[in-house]
Chain A
Amino acid sequence: MMDAGLPLLEVTDLATHFHTQRGLLRAVDGVSFSVRRGQTLGIVGESGSGKSALARTIIRILSKRHTTTTGRITFEGRDLLTVSEPDMRDIRGRDIAMVFQDPTSSLNPVKQVGVQIEEVLARHLGLRGRAAQTRAIELLTSVGMPLPQERLHQYPHQLSGGMRQRVAIAIALACEPKLLIADEPTTALDVTIQAQILDLLHRRQKAHHMAMILISHDLGVVAGYTDTVAVMYAGQIVEQASTRSLFRNCRMPYTAALMRSAPNLSDPPHTRLRAITGRPPDMVLPPPGCRFEPRCDDATDICRNRRPALSASDADGTHRYACWHPVASPGASA
């Protein structure tokens, strides 16, 4: 499943700080990870954990005036943070594509679906006219759109939410990108449609041997469709492992708590949920030690004062977590 050789995308010590009226908001604070071709990385976190800011930093669509970004984002050997804006525009859409949570706002409401796909084809591949139209129909067919030919002339508002997300995916895949970033692609959709879209993304990713970053707040979504998972909390990665290892043998109390707090179909009705107390910290004034410490049941003095580093847990070194008192044995299994 995994390629040998260099990773496609390597993010090193990345930090994104927003300048707000209250001070510096550390949305992403020292994040490192890598993604190989053909591999899917899941990023899980609650709202405000910095997962969307991270995605937007990678494709550089955050306003320069209000953010400071440090660290390195190496994509095919180039540092995306130093690439010129015109070069970045070529990379965006052609090499790295993104699918957003809300297809209503990512599609242009006054342009026909076909026109929007053909624009991307013209911009990055120089395809025009007949050829572009044929390719657009192919793309719509590949994302499972019924009656693709008729859809070309429809406007986004004439489609359902699921159909719109399919169009957004068709646009993202138009240039066969090497990396697809899907930021909560199914959060706005119904469960049955969510399953269809996740399945579609999974199949396209396998077919094109593409790398994918799947961002979600839902551990269940990530479980079925990723090779590795990074759990983010308060701007940092707190646990990172192969998907199987994470779900079978999670070490970070936050990951364990997140798994426990969701209602489980196999439990009888009225099973009391094991909720996490409190709420995520204020990112302008984060706790000095471990950021999960105020909500953690196992916290001690060292957690309050010193920030734990992300360190390898096992012999193979792929399961890493940031915690002074890791959960001992298999924490939770679904």
Chain B
Amino acid sequence: MSPAELLVVDDLSVTYALPRGRQLIAVANVSFTVHKGETLGLVGESGCGKSTISRAIMQLPPPTGGAVVFEGRNLAHLDTAALRRARTRLHMIFQDPISSLNPHRKVRDIVAEPLAIAGMGDAEDRKRRVRAALENVGLDPDQVMDRRPHEFSGGQCQRIAIARALVTEPQLVICDEPVSALDVSVRAQILNFLEDMKAHYHLTLLFISHDLAVVKNISDRVAVMYLGRLCELAPSARLYEAPLHPYTAALMAAIPVMDPDRCRSPSHLLAGELPSPMNPPSGCRFRTRCPRATPHCAAHEPEWRETEAGHFVACHFPLVAPQGATISPARQP
């Protein structure tokens, strides 16, 4: 493993046992690497398993299959104390900033909690770190330390949550839909702010979202998920220029664009609904909604392969999109 590889997710699977001996495979055989200093975006619709992956990385609960290797160590093999130490270098930011802060605790205690759990520093040192973290997220410590979360707006709560995530100066921060619950005008503030924090703390980010436009803006590389599996992974600009997986193309076509003249032919629309993860389609999981599906797709599961340097796809009939062409899932190979 090269020193640039901060997090390696290898063949990760998460399975839930259901009543009557049935199984729900939430995430199946997912592998990706997050390099030091980059932002990896993880995109997919609800139920695709992207949040399950973030929890599996955090070992909450540990994955049922595969490995999560952080800074060269398999997190599943660490004992309690070592895992607790690793957690100071690996943090998480959640979607709903209000729900992620305990309404009955003061901001000073909330932000100091990671330090208290890890037993870092004495009271004086902790106080100094909390003040610094709050200042860095743009909040005045004297004004906010003794308040409780319900006295703040959603955007401010998200800043407090970010201060808590940064107080131990971690290496990797997993952002699970951090701006989805915020208003449009506040969303841009927090996104800019995450970029600032990334530069200031030399962070590596795993940025999970359902919003492709947001992910493209913040990520260096983007991975697309569908029904528990990775479909495509590519450098951000490349993915948007020339998506290879029909699902990526369909997701992009579905984004509302601020242009009243853009043609909206129904051919752009992805038909049907997400199949039940309890009973996923055979072969390629996307085939039930794919405009290019053939009997071959039902019989064989597509392989995860690299089509060009850094561009991975799992599809039997990837779109061959020439440079500069518009995206159309309807084009035949």
Contact = CB atoms under 8 A, between A and B. Distances in A.
Are A and B close enough to touch in the complex, i.e. CB under 8 Å? yes
Interface of A: 46-47, 160, 162-163, 190-196, 198-199, 217-221, 223-224, 243-244, 247-248, 257-259, 261-265, 267-277, 279-280, 333-334
B188 A273 contact: yes
A273 B260 contact: no
B195 A224 contact: no
B151 interface: no
Name B's interface SS: helix
B81 interface: no
Interface string B34-47: 00000000000110
Q: What range describes how many residues of B lie at the interface?
A: 35 or more
A196 B253 CA distance: 12
B274 interface: yes
A191 B251 contact: yes
Contacts of A334: 257-259
A47 B185 CA distance: 10
A261 B258 contact: no
25 contacts: A190-B46, A191-B210, A191-B255, A192-B250, A192-B269, A192-B270, A193-B273, A194-B254, A195-B254, A195-B256, A223-B260, A223-B262, A248-B260, A258-B184, A258-B185, A262-B188, A263-B217, A265-B255, A265-B257, A269-B220, A270-B195, A275-B185, A275-B189, A334-B257, A334-B259
Contacts of B46: 190
Contacts of B45: 190-193
A57 B254 CA distance: 32
B260 A269 contact: no
A264 B257 CA distance: 8
A261 B188 contact: yes
A273 B262 contact: no
Contacts of B321: none
Contacts of A223: 256-260, 262
B117 interface: no
Interface in B185-223: 185-189, 191-192, 195, 210-214, 216-220
Nearest to B272: A146
A194 B250 CA distance: 12
B219 A269 contact: yes
A275 B268 CA distance: 30
Interface in B150-195: 153, 155, 183-189, 191-192, 195
Interface string B48-67: 00000000000000000000
B183 A217 contact: yes
B250 A268 contact: no
Nearest to B289: A192
A224 B236 contact: no
B264 interface: yes
B216 A276 contact: no
B240 interface: yes
B144 to A, nearest CB: 16
A8 B234 CA distance: 51
A269 B210 contact: no
Contacts of B240: 265
Contacts of A267: 217
B239 to A, nearest CB: 10
A221 B191 CA distance: 21
B275 to A, nearest CB: 10
Interface string B241-261: 000000000111111111111
A229 to B, nearest CB: 9
Given A46-B184, A160-B274, A275-B192, A262 B269 contact: no
B182 to A, nearest CB: 9
A294 B166 CA distance: 30
Given A224-B264, A243-B260, 16 more contacts: A162-B273, A191-B210, A191-B251, A195-B269, A198-B256, A223-B260, A261-B185, A262-B187, A263-B214, A269-B219, A270-B220, A272-B192, A273-B191, A279-B183, A279-B185, A334-B258
Contacts of A160: 273-274
A223 B188 CA distance: 20
A193 B271 CA distance: 8
A265 B213 contact: yes
Contacts of A198: 256
